[in-house]
Structure formats: structure tokens, C-alpha cells
Amino acid sequence: MSADTPPKVLFEHEGVFIHSNTEDSEEQDLLVSGFLRIIDKDGEIIVEYKPLEDTVDPSNMLCAGKDSSSVMEWAHCPGEERSPPQQAVVLEQQQSYETEWDMINAVSFPKRKPCSNGEGALNHTHEKSKWSFTFSVWDLRSVTVKEEGWSRLVFGMKEPPTSLPSLHFHQGGSEGFLDCLRRYTIITEAPDDETCLLVSTPNRALSQSFENLLDDNNYGLVTKLKKDPYVTTLGGFSKVTNYIFDAFRGPELEQQRRPHEEVADLDILGLGEVIPGLEINQQEEPGFEVITRMDLGARPEVTRREPLSAEDWAKHQDQEGRVKNVPQLKKIIFKGGLCHAVRKEAWKFLLGYYTWDSTYDERKGQQRRKTDEYFRMKLQWKSVSEEQERRNSRLRDCRSLIEKDVNRTDRTNRFYEGIDNPGLVLLHDVLMTYCMYDFDLGYVQGMSDLLSPILYVMDNEVDAFWCFVSFMDQMHQNFEEPMQGMKTQLIQLSTLLRLLDLAFWNYLESQDSGYLYFCFRWLLIRFKRELSYPDVLRLWEVMWTGLPCQNFHLLLCCAILDSEKRKIMEENYGFNEILKHINELSMKLDIEEILHKSEAICMQIRSCKELPHSISEILGFNTESEFPRLEGREFGTLDSPQSPIPTQRQVFSNGHNRHYREPPTHNGCKVAFIS
């Protein structure tokens, strides 16, 4: 990271207070309000507090209501002990999303510019900024959490002379701050004081590249994977390096290193066993098909085009709104994606919310019905009283997990950034309503990543919900507890890579990486955290066309690995180095290059005369009538003249038995290693 790179804001919360007077002072406590941030500055994690331009009169202070849908005025008189608002006046400002469904209560706090302050620790030079402070997490020794009707945090620094003021979270936000801190440090509870959290930082070089994998030294990698494989995966499963070793050591052995021969490998760690259903054992799979080295021939050249414009999109609709020549339109979208102005409408067709042959009037009627259906489901959870929720542990758990994930989902995106952003309210409400739609699944971490781009494009609560429902129909098995969907995809990916590059696959196998566990996050949330936001939008709309084959996302993985194999093999990367390298590809991938190579790989495999049956099953070449080929000069691909006539059936490929939306008659396909 260069010195000119602007700091990246990892956490930000407005309305964090400093009480200017000590408990022994007889003067009235003056509340200093400010911003609390955690930033990444050139690889160093910095905690920064800056006061607002003015101080706050404690006799007229606003606190967030428990339901986050209202603001309570806290009347505080001099001389009285500070206590939670008992006779609070609820100030509500309702904003209707639909006139007949007034469901969202939003509060907007006025934005005030924080005081500027220079580098360093405490700065008492100017009156306005004398309460400002910054420190590196490397210098933080402990955080003490006090509950006084609100949360108060006391920072203990490694250098005893350094004294920082306590921070009071009258408007919430302390949990979000600590959650963010856990991503970059190891936090453990002090053995003799449950209110004191001890902070330790692993090797700096590693921490600058990885989010922290462990929340507690007493709960190592294996324990955490057993407890919640999805959280572990999204937070750091693909980011294991020396944390794997440290997970089994106490802090007193932090400076020691195990000899190379004692390093735990995949089998010792038992990763396949601790993630339920993810273990892959060839001996238990009599359907295993031996794939030997094959000559796939030359990889053909492919070309891509510009995104589909709004004018071209309009040309594909008749006067009543029906979409014409759907197979050709899908080919164009696959080859270039969509311009952003078209996405809001086109995604509804690609995801199956609208049928391609529906008219304008039919879609308007459907939208009215879907709006009514959505808000009826939303009313189910909005109307649950606190008394009811206390007796519904499943709803409580879903709400808690959703609230945590929403606060850390795409906060650098303009649609979700800042404090009290209405986009966060919509993200929360759509996910909560989905829990009412699918009681069995509820909410699993990672689903917020799938919804975020859809909500961003739709900019509409109802449309985003139903498009998300369609997307989840494809992705459902990724989030089910048996994890059969993830296991199947990893097996399929390993099979494809073995065909494409047996030498590379053998190398990965020799490093206990043959089943490509490091690709878990790629598959789980469709590269959402590996690509920039615009690239995610482009990739998803290309994949939703169902072209050029079934399970195209697996070929995307193969294309990325094909680009990285030389470095991995030449540098003789072991298990941990492979995980580290794959993780560091995040936000460095070129989506157009990946799409070029993925399509070329598909054409290369398709042209193979003696293709193994398992490969044909994975890519759907045995049911080619469902997958029109990309051919013709306009698309710049080489293919045989015997291309089957394309059909208009909507195809979804996810490696599951859910390939087709209408009609659902396909019964799935067997995959390599599965009998």
C-alpha cells in the first residue's frame, strides 16, 4: 500500500460521548459528542476519536430507542444520577414507503463535521479538539466494558503513562466497535475480571493481510468451525496462515514456533470433519471415475462486447412489453453484461421475477400482488411484541445475526455508508421478511452479501425482496446445514481442475489442497467478496443468463486458478501459503480477463471428442438443448455447425438439483465421486 493511499474507514459511529468531569467533581457533567472510527492507514489499524464542533447539553439529549425505529428524549437534571430514560418522550418520524403499508420508521440525525486534528495521541492544544485522540491497536492492552444504563469503554494502553478518556455509547454502537476490533486483534476475557477484555495482536505482517480468525484464544480454529462454519468461513476460513498453529497455543507460547515437521496439515486439523457434511472421502464413493491426462486441444479465442445499452434493450420489446428473441438477448448479455440504466428492469427477467413473455399490464398487476404479499409477511415480524419475542428463540437469533451483519455489509458503498443510512434499514427489513418467507432456512451469514447488490440495483424494497427470493432459490443449498450443495460443488470443481490441468491438481493434492477448500467462499457467495462492487454486478448478470453451460461459476474458479498456478507451483507453496495467496487475490481480480478465460475453457472442453461422462454431466453437455451455444461472427466463438436449436426455458445452474425454473422436471445429474 503506497503512502498516498487514503485511509480506509473500517468502522464509524457518531454520537459517542466523553463526560468531561470526573466522578469526584461537583460541577455538572459536560457531554462532549464526537465520531469514533477504526481506520486502516497504510496497513496499520488506527482507532480515532474526534469531537463534533459543539458540545452537548445533557438536559436535552437524544438516545436511540430499543427498536431502532424511534428516538427518545432523555431529561437529565443536575445533581441526579445518570440512569436510563424512564419517562422518555418518544419522538417518531414516519416515512411511508407505500401509502397503504406505512411500515418503516426512520430517524435521521443531523450530520456535523468532526473537528480536525493532527497526528499523534492526545492533543490538548485547542479547546474544540482537546478531547481528540488516536492510537494504534498495536498499542492497546485492554478494553474494559462498563454497563451504566449504556455501555462505557475504558481503554488500557501498553504504555502506562498514556491515559485516555472513557467513551460513553449513549446511542449504542459499542458492540459494533468491538466486533470490528476483533477482526484485527485477538480479544480474550481477563481471567479475574469478566468486564476486562485483553487485546493482543499477532504478527503485524500477517494481520495487515488477514482479518482475525479467532475471537478467543481458548477457542481455536477447530472449535470455531464446529460452532459456526459459515461465520468462520466468511471471517477467515480462507485466510488461515500461522493462525492455524497459534489456535492451539496459549498466549504464553506466542513467541515460540513449531518446527516445520510439526506443522498441522489438513488431516490433523480435521477440517473436513468439523464442517458438518463437508468431509470428502473417495473410498466412500464407489461412483468415482478415473480421469487421466487428456489432450483437450488448443484453447479457442473468444471476444467480448460492450454492455447492452438502454436503446438496444428497448428494441427487444414489442409494443405490449413482451421481450423478443430471448436466446439472442441472453447471448448479448452474456457477452457484455448490461449498462447500469437497464439493470433495474432486466435483472427482474434474468432472475425470474418477471416472465419474458409478460406484458406491461401483466407486470403491473403482478407487482401490486407481490407488494401486498410482501408487506403482509413483513407485518408478521413487525407486529411481534417484545413479550412474544422472548418466547421465540429462533426469531431472536435471526434478528440478532441480521442486525450484526447489516452493520458490516458493504459499508463503503455509498448506498449503505454513514450513520443511520436508510439503505441499512431496507437491508435489515428485507432479510427479516425473508425469515418469514422461508421459516426453515431463516437467516444464515452470507445472505446479506447476496441481497446487498440486488437492493442497490432495485432501490426498491419489494422488488429487491422478490429478486432475492429468486436468487436464493438457486443458492439455497449453499446455506443448508448438511452442506450437501457446497460439498457437491467442491467435488465438481476438483473434477474439472483435474481434467484441465492434472499436474496442477496433483500438486495441490500433494499439499492437502486437492478438494480446493480455499475456494469455499468463492462458491458460497458467488465471488461477492473477491471482486469490486461494479464487477460483482457484471459477473452476476452474466451468470444469470445460464450461458454458456451449466455450472459456469465452476469454470470461473478454474480460470482464476489457471492464472495463479504458475506462481503457486514455482514458489512451492504449501497448504498455508496457498490459503494466504488465494485470500490476497481479493479485489485484485480482473473480471473481463476471468470471463474471457472461462468461456474459452468451456469451448475447449466442449470440443473434446472423448469427454469423460462426469464432466459432461457437470457442465450439462448431455442436455445441450437447454443451453444454446454461442456462435456466429457477432460473438467471435468457434463452434460446430450442429448447434441445437435454443429454447427459451430459464436455466439456473448451481450444482444442485434445481437447474430449471420452469418446468421443474429435471432431476439433477450425478457428479464425479458420487454414486
The CATH number, out of the four listed (1.10.8.270, 1.10.20.140, 3.30.460.80, 3.40.50.720), of the domain defined by the range 310-478? 1.10.8.270
CA 72 to chain centre: 33
Mean predicted confidence (pLDDT) in 578-603? 96
Residue 106 DSSP symbol: -
Per-residue confidence (pLDDT) for residue 230, from 0 to 100: 54
Q: Tell whether the model's pLDDT for residue 494 goes beyond 60.
A: yes
Distances (CA, A) of 31 to 112, 144, 161, 475: 16, 20, 25, 49
Q: Tell whether the model's pLDDT for residue 83 goes beyond 50.
A: no
Write out the CATH class of domain 8-21+30-54+129-200: mainly beta
Q: Which amino acid is at 85?
A: P
Mean predicted confidence (pLDDT) in 310-325? 96
Q: Which residues contact 581 (CB under 8 A, 6 or more apart)?
A: 564, 567, 568, 573
Distance CA 71, CA 172 (A): 12
**446-469 confidence digits (pLDDT tens):** 999 999 999 999 999 999 999 999
Answer whether 8-21+30-54+129-200 and 310-478 agree in fold: no
Per-residue confidence (pLDDT) for residue 468, from 0 to 100: 98
Burial 195-214 (b: 16+ CB within 10 A, else e): ebbbbebbeeeebeebebbb
- The dihedrals phi and psi of 405, each to the nearest 5 degrees, come to -70, -40
Distance CA 357, CA 317 (A): 10
445 and 402 Cβ atoms separated by less than 8 Å: no
- Every domain of the chain and the residues it spans: 8-21+30-54+129-200, 310-478, 484-619
CB atoms within 10 A of CB 451: 23
Question: Cβ-count burial of 623 within 10 angstroms (0-12 exposed, 13-18 middle, 19+ buried)?
Answer: middle
- pLDDT tier, 29 (very low <50, low <70, confident <90, very high otherwise): low
- pLDDT tier, 162 (very low <50, low <70, confident <90, very high otherwise): low
**Total length of the chain:** 675
542 and 333 Cβ atoms separated by less than 8 Å: yes
Distance CA 103, CA 94 (A): 8
Using alpha carbons, select from 530, 536, 386, 523 the residue that is nearest to residue 457: 536
Question: Cβ-count burial of 545 within 10 angstroms (0-12 exposed, 13-18 middle, 19+ buried)?
Answer: buried
CATH 1.10.472.80, domain 484-619, yes or no: yes
478 and 486 Cβ atoms separated by less than 8 Å: yes
Longest dimension (CA), the chain: 91
Per-residue confidence (pLDDT) for residue 268, from 0 to 100: 27
CA 225 to chain centre: 18
Sign of CA dihedral 132, 138, 139, 140: positive
Q: Is the pTM of this model over 0.75?
A: no
Per-residue confidence (pLDDT) for residue 291, from 0 to 100: 56
Distance CA 2, CA 527 (A): 26
Helices 422-437 and 393-406, packing angle to 10 deg: 150
51 and 128 Cβ atoms separated by less than 8 Å: yes
Distances (CA, A) of 402 to 196, 307, 359, 432, 465: 27, 34, 36, 7, 15
Q: Which amino acid is at 56?
A: V
Question: Cβ-count burial of 519 within 10 angstroms (0-12 exposed, 13-18 middle, 19+ buried)?
Answer: buried
Percent of the chain whose pLDDT exceeds 70: 64
- pLDDT tier, 186 (very low <50, low <70, confident <90, very high otherwise): confident
Q: Tell whether the model's pLDDT for residue 284 goes beyond 90.
A: no
- pLDDT tier, 68 (very low <50, low <70, confident <90, very high otherwise): very low
Q: Which amino acid is at 448?
A: S
Q: Which residues contact 145 (CB under 8 A, 6 or more apart)?
A: 151, 152, 153, 174, 178, 195, 196, 197
| DSSP string of 164-175, one letter each residue | ---EEETTS-HH
What the block records as the C-alpha cell of 451 is 441481497
450 and 474 Cβ atoms separated by less than 8 Å: no
Higher pLDDT, 658 or 554: 554
Top mean-pLDDT range of 189-193, 205-209, 507-511, 662-666: 507-511
- pLDDT tier, 34 (very low <50, low <70, confident <90, very high otherwise): confident
Q: Tell whether the model's pLDDT for residue 342 goes beyond 60.
A: yes
What's the chain's average pLDDT? 74
